[in-house]
């Protein structure tokens, strides 16, 4: 789910989809000031946002108000947006700092979750981290514990496995090989903190508490994709350049 390396030079446009005028103009101003070469548009409602998305084919940044009832506009929510527009890096901005809310967004494919009440310098650093190809989450989640509480999701285990993102599956693949977070980070060329975020999001989706539970579920269901059963293929895929989509 990290974006596959420094993407700053690739991003040509950005959309701030935010209901509140002050937040919308403030976020747009921050992006324009920090990344002056990016064309920034704003949208206050779904019609404006969807029109922009439909017309945009260039690599870009979508800043999404977490308070929007996205599922009522785009069935499937963040996951569907990521599927439709893989060339966009998606960042959720929200007043909430609840760990479950953050992990849900990251688990569905968001590249970052930025609290709206962050200091401007911290917010800029968060955007830089996303633009550099990493996943950003607030401190309440970045130091995730391996023993995560089990999710109360009603989804079946099979559905949970198929809901994992490609990067989450890659991380679980290396985890099943007995690698530590540091070793996984080295293999996938991402930061250790990003690995922790993917691990926490995967645990939440699978409804497990630890690594043993995650690996056991995948093996028990026999639902692991081909690259989970073939670690060498994972190694090759991890080093292939991602030319089009933001992972």
pLDDT at 186 over 70: yes
Q: Residues near 87 by Cβ (< 8 Å), separated by ≥ 6?
A: 57, 58, 59, 60, 244, 245, 246
Residue-level pLDDT at 133:
78
- Fold of the domain spanning 13-141: Rossmann fold (3.40.50)
What are the structural domain ranges in the chain?
Answer: 13-141, 157-239
The least confident of 11-15, 61-65, 166-170, 230-234 is 230-234
Of 80 and 34, the one with more pLDDT: 80
pLDDT tens per residue across span 29-48: 989 888 877 899 999 999 99
Answering whether pTM is above 0.75, one says: no
225-247: average pLDDT? 42
pLDDT tens per residue across span 87-118: 889 999 999 888 888 888 988 889 999 999 88
Sheet bearing 39-43, strands edge to edge: 39-43, 13-17, 60-65, 88-94, 112-115
Site of tokens 């043993």: 212
Q: Where are the beta strands (DSSP E) in 29-157?
A: 39-43, 60-65, 88-94, 112-115
Architecture of domain 157-239: Orthogonal Bundle (1.10)
pLDDT at 145 over 50: no
Residue-level pLDDT at 212:
74
What whole-number distance in Å separates Cα of residue 131 and Cα of residue 133?
5
Residue-level pLDDT at 159:
57
Residue-level pLDDT at 100:
84
């Amino acid at each position: 789910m990290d974006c596959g390396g420094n993407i700053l030079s690739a991003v040509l446009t950005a959309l701030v989809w935010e209901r509140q005028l002050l937040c919308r103009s403030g976020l747009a101003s921050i992006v324009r000031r920090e990344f002056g070469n990016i064309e920034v548009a704003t949208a206050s409602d779904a019609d404006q946002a969807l029109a922009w998305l439909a017309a945009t084919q260039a690599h870009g940044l979508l800043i999404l108000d977490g308070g929007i009832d996205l599922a009522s506009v785009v069935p499937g929510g963040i996951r569907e947006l990521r599927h439709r527009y893989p060339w966009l890096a998606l960042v959720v901005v929200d007043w909430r700092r609840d760990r479950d809310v953050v992990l849900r967004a990251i688990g569905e494919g968001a590249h970052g979750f930025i609290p709206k009440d962050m200091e401007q310098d911290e917010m800029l650093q968060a955007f830089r981290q996303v633009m550099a190809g990493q996943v950003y989450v607030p401190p309440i989640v970045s130091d995730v514990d391996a023993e995560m509480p089990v999710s109360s999701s009603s989804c079946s285990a099979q559905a949970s496995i198929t809901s994992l993102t490609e990067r989450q599956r890659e991380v679980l693949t290396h985890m099943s090989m007995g690698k530590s977070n540091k070793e996984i980070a080295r293999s996938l060329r991402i930061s250790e903190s990003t690995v922790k975020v993917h691990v926490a999001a995967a645990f939440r989706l699978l409804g497990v508490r630890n690594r043993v539970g995650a690996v056991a579920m995948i093996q028990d269901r026999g639902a692991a994709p081909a690259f989970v059963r073939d670690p060498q293929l994972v190694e090759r895929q991890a080093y292939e350049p991602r030319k089009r989509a933001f992972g």
